[in-house]
């Protein structure tokens, strides 16, 4: 699946989810900042075909991969990951005002809290490597989704491998 | 080795007795009495219930066992499979069985030898007699007095009594007799009082109680529980209550031998759930 | 047993014949007869062994009587009398220990029978226990619910309780009555009158909507707290039920919030750029444990529930997460992967004296200290996830469930029942809340309006 398609699908799914949520909003909504947070792109959502330089679309189109993958219960960055992160760093060097969030994910075979910690580790591994390539660490935030947002839905090795990941998204 | 006259006579009698016994057993196995056609499981449980290894010969006296149970009961015996608990043994059976006159020449040698394979059919037979006299089990105990029998099976151990010398055997027989009269009655309500929880199987409540001459409960003298730990402590009170209640509901006890009142006047029961 | 053959008897007979010379010498001794009174020597002491795996105790529960049918905001006392009996029956049924009968199909009782049951009539049911009761409305608008438990065989009263409640709280009176019955018959502490916080789940696996919700222990009075715009995770009721601590993705961050049930307001427990998660209350409600990830390293912290400065309790390169106080508040059990994989450790409440207690195969996670203090529940991971318990020193491990993924045990207030969530695998995988008792039986699903996860059982209501 192409990265663009992937991002578009994700974006549309989230739009759908957001709409769904709104329908269900009860009266006792806690008075917090409930600003909708989307996993992945929030900007274009696959609506526009025009690629704006410095945008999420531009980012995804310009780099070798926005996602790096990990082995079971591991968070080390291997050679393939380094290449992907290096291409991200190059793009980020062109747009020094763009901030990014690295999302860490785990597969479903860990317990919830542990997977949050594991996702955090993975996101940080990516963040640290980007920082080592000269990206200002202050531009990079991390968030862990643990096992809450799988990208592959199966309960099999192939799906789990896709879900053990860190995804870089631009903050618009 | 030479045999003197006494020995020779003894040997002949013993051989003759064994042959008869063997014949009887073989006959029984090959022509099972339909009344005794119980499943193996029941046999096994009840086997232990026979508190005394009363030697095979007793097995040949089934009619006494019925003791007034209507014959029609036998027709009601359900299909053998689903036995979970042993059926209620009519206590008098045990009593009669234990006291049945022994063919004296044959019996002692057998006891001494303890031929286990022989005992098994013996117990089986008496067990079959007993179980045959009652429906195997009510689908649901109706009231606390049902299913009383259940317990005898488990607590009675086939033990050294069976090889004890004749004098002690009689004492053992009496003991066993009394035990059946009391335990069998108590086990029903004990089983009907459910206590569950972690490590409840480690609890043992010991109750000493005194009986009147006619078998009524005079008083409960003491209640003590061992095996208590942090996990089962909350159940101790209920466990003791169920044990006490079982005696209260089981009393008065029938068929206790008056002549041995001094023996059973004060009785101790250990209650456990396994 | 089934293949007994005469051969055995042949052998036995031969054996006995061979030994006859010895035995024959004894043969002439006359056998004693029963006519000779013999007093057995050791005083009588016997063992009565009952069966642990008993059928459930049968309990008759009649519609509660009312002295005068009175209208209340929750319905007439006559209607309430039936509904209360129904709730009690459902509670006892759900405990797995009892087989309740009624109130359907049973005759109504008079007020007089409440304290003087017609045992003779009810004994025909074969039940061991009998529950009667009454509902009365007073002039102040309160309900008085009387609840009586009888031993059918003995014909004796085992316990009686009275509860005065607002009509709208009639279910609580029923739960209290069920608790009284349960406690009296089981010896265990009560638990029906309690509430559960959990995460309600809807939507597809990759975009699941997860909302904080609360309900009574029987699933009644269900209420959603959050609207699902942000993922909510791992709620815990405060010991007094006034607050719920949980994790929310609100504001594009993972942070621990304290939600005030009364006012509906909430606040972030600790303002930081770091991720905070896995919150737990101290038994006295004064502190909250939480985990915080700083630069990828997760440790456990403690913070005053009213806010303040967190104190770090663990300090290592591994993932230290979760944490659950012993009921006396002196110890904390938590999980750490410092050994290379998740294992369970205990430490003093100040973080000192950390000791590993899990040593079985696989990984151990989500330890939860029983409110009774005697056991620690956990998720054991070796391929599948299973719920188990062990002592605080790590002994006597027992696994209670066996499914693909059973995760995150939470204790009933009496420490005898464990809830958890069970997830099924595959694209259509979903999570539902289950409970099992400590003996590993009575596994049953707790009905919820939608799917659920992360259950958290609160204490018995004050």
Nearest chain C Cα distance for residue B75, angstroms:
23
The pLDDT value recorded for residue B141 is 31
Sheet with C209-216, edge to edge strand ranges: C223-224, C209-216, C194-202, C451-460
Whether chain C lies against chain B with 3 or more Cβ pairs closer than 8 A is yes
Across the interface, do C36 and B7 touch by the CB < 8 Å criterion?
A: no
The pLDDT value recorded for residue B68 is 31
Query: What token pair was written down for B190?
Result: 């004990």
Nearest chain A Cα distance for residue C159, angstroms:
41
Across the interface, do C46 and B183 touch by the CB < 8 Å criterion?
A: yes
Nearest chain A Cα distance for residue C137, angstroms:
33
Q: Exposure of B34 by Cβ count < 10 A (0-12 exposed, 13-18 middle, 19+ buried)?
A: exposed
The pLDDT value recorded for residue C25 is 41
Q: Does B236 touch chain C (CB under 8 A)?
A: yes
- Alpha helix (H) residue ranges in chain A: 3-24, 56-62, 79-94, 112-132, 157-163
The pLDDT value recorded for residue C41 is 65
Q: Where are the domains of chain A?
A: 6-19+51-171
Tell me the ipTM for this assembly.
0.86
Query: What token pair was written down for C17?
Result: 């014949």
The pLDDT value recorded for residue C35 is 47
Q: How far apart are CA A94 and CA A91, in angstroms?
A: 5
Backbone angles phi, psi at B162, to 5 degrees: -65, -20
The CA-based angle B83-B235-B273, given to 5 degrees, is 25
Q: Does C41 touch chain B (CB under 8 A)?
A: yes
Number of CB pairs < 8 Å for A and C?
161
Length of chain A: 172
The pLDDT value recorded for residue A22 is 34
Mean pLDDT over A71-93 rounds to 94
Q: C23 Cβ partners below 8 Å, 6+ apart?
A: B10, B14, B108, B109, B110, B112, B113, C16
Q: How many of the other CB atoms lie within 10 Å of CB of C237?
A: 23
The pLDDT value recorded for residue B72 is 36
Domains of chain C as residue ranges with CATH: 8-186 (3.40.50.10070), 194-460 (2.120.10.30)
Rounded percentage of chain B residues whose pLDDT exceeds 70 = 38
Across the interface, do C248 and A32 touch by the CB < 8 Å criterion?
A: yes
Residue with tokens 């409640």: C165
Residue A125's SS3 state is: helix
Nearest chain A Cα distance for residue C278, angstroms:
6
Residue with tokens 């539902």: C432
B56 to each of B110, B158, C29, how far by Cα in Å? 9, 14, 19
Nearest chain B Cα distance for residue C8, angstroms:
6
The pLDDT value recorded for residue B173 is 80
Across the interface, do C12 and B117 touch by the CB < 8 Å criterion?
A: yes
Q: How far apart are CA B198 and CA C439, in angstroms?
A: 6
Identify the CA nearest to B186 among candidates B104, B116, B272, B110.
B272
Q: How far apart are CA B152 and CA B191, in angstroms?
A: 12
pLDDT under 50 in chain C at which residues? 1-6, 8-35
Q: Does C56 touch chain B (CB under 8 A)?
A: yes
* DSSP characters over C388-413: EEE-TTS-S-EE---SSEEEEEEE-T
- Across the strands, what pairs with C47? B270
Pick the CATH number of A6-19+51-171 from 1.10.287.1080, 3.40.30.10, 3.40.1280.10, 3.30.1330.60: 3.30.1330.60
Across the interface, do C38 and B174 touch by the CB < 8 Å criterion?
A: yes
The CA-based angle C150-C154-C155, given to 5 degrees, is 50
The pLDDT value recorded for residue C328 is 96
pLDDT under 70 in chain B at which residues? 1-169
Q: Does B13 touch chain C (CB under 8 A)?
A: yes
8 Å CB contact between C410 and C455:
yes
* Range A30-34, long-range pairs (CB < 8 A, 24+ positions): A30/C225, A30/C226, A30/C257, A30/C259, A30/C264, A30/C265, A30/C266, A31/C264, A31/C265, A31/C266, A32/C248, A32/C250, A32/C251, A32/C257, A32/C266, A33/C250, A33/C251, A34/C227, A34/C229, A34/C230, A34/C250
The pLDDT value recorded for residue B30 is 44
Whether chain A lies against chain B with 3 or more Cβ pairs closer than 8 A is no
Q: How many of the other CB atoms lie within 10 Å of CB of C285?
A: 15
Neighbours of B, requiring at least 3 CB pairs below 8 Å, are C
8 Å CB contact between C100 and C61:
yes
Sheet with C243-248, edge to edge strand ranges: C232-237, C243-248, C255-260, C266-268
Q: How far apart are CA B153 and CA B175, in angstroms?
A: 16
């Amino acid at each position: 699946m192409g990265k663009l398609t992937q991002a578009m699908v994700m974006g549309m799914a989230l739009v759908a989810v957001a709409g769904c949520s709104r329908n269900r909003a009860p009266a006792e909504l806690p008075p917090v900042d409930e600003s909708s947070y989307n996993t992945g792109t929030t900007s274009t959502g696959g609506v526009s075909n025009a690629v704006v330089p410095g945008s999420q679309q531009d980012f995804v189109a310009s780099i070798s991969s926005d996602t790096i993958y990990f082995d079971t219960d591991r968070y080390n960055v291997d050679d393939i990951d380094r290449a992907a992160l290096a291409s991200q760093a190059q793009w980020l060097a062109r747009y020094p005002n763009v901030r990014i969030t690295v999302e860490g994910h785990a597969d479903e075979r860990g317990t919830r809290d542990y997977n949050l910690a594991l996702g955090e580790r993975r996101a940080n591994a990516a963040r640290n490597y980007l920082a080592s390539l000269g990206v200002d660490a202050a531009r990079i935030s991390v968030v862990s989704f643990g096992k809450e947002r799988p990208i592959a839905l199966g309960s099999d090795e192939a799906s789990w491998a896709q879900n053990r990941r860190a995804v870089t998204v631009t903050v618009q | 080795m030479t045999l003197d006259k006494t020995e020779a006579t003894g040997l002949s009698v013993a051989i003759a007795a064994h042959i008869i016994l063997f014949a009887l057993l073989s006959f029984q196995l090959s022509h099972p009495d339909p009344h005794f056609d119980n499943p193996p499981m029941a046999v096994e449980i009840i086997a232990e219930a026979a508190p005394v290894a009363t030697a095979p010969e007793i097995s040949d006296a089934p009619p006494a066992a019925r003791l007034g149970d209507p014959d029609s009961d036998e027709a009601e015996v359900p299909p053998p499979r689903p036995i979970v608990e042993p059926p209620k043994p009519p206590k008098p059976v045990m009593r009669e069985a234990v006291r049945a006159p022994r063919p004296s020449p044959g019996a002692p040698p057998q006891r001494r030898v303890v031929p286990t394979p022989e005992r098994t059919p013996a117990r089986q037979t008496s067990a079959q007699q007993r179980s045959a006299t009652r429906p195997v089990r009510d689908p649901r105990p109706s009231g606390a007095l049902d299913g009383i029998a259940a317990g005898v099976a488990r607590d009675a151990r086939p033990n050294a009594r069976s090889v004890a010398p004749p004098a002690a055997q009689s004492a053992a027989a009496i003991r066993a007799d009394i035990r059946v009269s009391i335990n069998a009655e108590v086990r029903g309500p004990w089983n009907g009082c459910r206590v569950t929880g972690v490590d409840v199987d480690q609890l043992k409540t010991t109750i000493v109680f005194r009986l009147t001459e006619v078998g009524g409960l005079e008083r409960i003298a003491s209640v003590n529980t061992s095996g208590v730990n942090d996990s089962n402590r909350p159940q101790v009170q209920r466990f003791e209550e169920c044990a006490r209640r079982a005696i209260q509901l089981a009393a008065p006890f029938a068929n206790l031998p008056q002549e041995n009142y001094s023996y059973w006047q004060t009785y101790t029961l250990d209650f456990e759930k396994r | 047993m089934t293949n007994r053959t005469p051969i055995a008897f042949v052998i036995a007979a031969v054996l006995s014949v061979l030994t006859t010379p010895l035995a024959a010498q004894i043969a002439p001794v006359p056998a004693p007869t029963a006519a000779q009174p013999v007093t057995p020597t050791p005083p009588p002491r016997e063992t009565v062994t009952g069966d642990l795996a008993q059928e459930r105790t049968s309990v008759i529960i009649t519609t509660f009587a009312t002295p005068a049918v009175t209208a209340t905001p929750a319905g007439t006392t006559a209607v309430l009398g039936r509904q209360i009996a129904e709730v009690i029956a459902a509670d006892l049924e759900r405990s797995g220990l009892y087989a309740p009968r009624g109130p359907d199909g049973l005759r109504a009782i008079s007020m007089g029978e409440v304290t003087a049951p017609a045992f003779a009539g009810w004994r025909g049911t074969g039940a061991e226990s009998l529950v009667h009761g009454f509902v009365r409305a007073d002039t102040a608008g309160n309900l008085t619910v009387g609840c009586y438990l009888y031993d059918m065989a003995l014909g004796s009263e085992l316990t009686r309780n009275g509860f005065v409640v607002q009509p709208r709280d009639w279910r609580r009176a029923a739960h209290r009555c069920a608790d009284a019955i349960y406690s009296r018959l089981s010896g265990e502490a009560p638990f029906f009158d309690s509430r559960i916080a959990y995460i309600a789940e809807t939507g597809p696996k990759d975009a699941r909507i997860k909302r904080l919700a609360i309900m009574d222990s029987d699933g009644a009075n269900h209420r959603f707290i959050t609207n699902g715009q942000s993922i909510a995770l791992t709620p815990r009721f405060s010991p007094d039920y006034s607050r719920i601590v949980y994790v929310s993705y609100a504001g594009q961050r993972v942070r621990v919030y304290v939600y005030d049930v009364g006012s509906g307001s909430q606040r972030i427990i600790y303002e930081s750029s770091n991720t905070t998660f896995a919150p737990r209350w101290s038994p006295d409600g004064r502190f909250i444990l939480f985990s915080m990830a700083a630069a990828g390293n997760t440790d456990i912290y403690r913070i005053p529930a009213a806010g303040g400065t967190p104190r770090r309790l663990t300090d290592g390169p591994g993932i230290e997460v979760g944490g659950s106080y012993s009921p006396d508040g002196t110890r904390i059990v938590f999980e750490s992967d410092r050994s290379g994989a998740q294992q369970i450790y205990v430490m003093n409440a100040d973080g000192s004296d950390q000791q590993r207690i899990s040593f079985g195969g696989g990984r151990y996670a989500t330890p939860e200290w029983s409110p009774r203090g005697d056991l620690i529940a956990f998720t054991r991971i070796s391929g599948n996830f299973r719920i188990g318990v062990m002592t605080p020193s790590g002994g006597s491990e027992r696994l209670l469930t066996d499914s693909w993924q059973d995760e995150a045990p939470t204790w009933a207030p009496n420490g005898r029942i464990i809830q958890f969530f069970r997830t099924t695998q595959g694209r259509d995988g979903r999570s539902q809340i289950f409970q099992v008792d400590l003996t590993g039986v009575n596994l049953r699903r707790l009905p919820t309006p939608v799917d659920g996860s992360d259950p958290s059982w609160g204490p018995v209501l004050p």
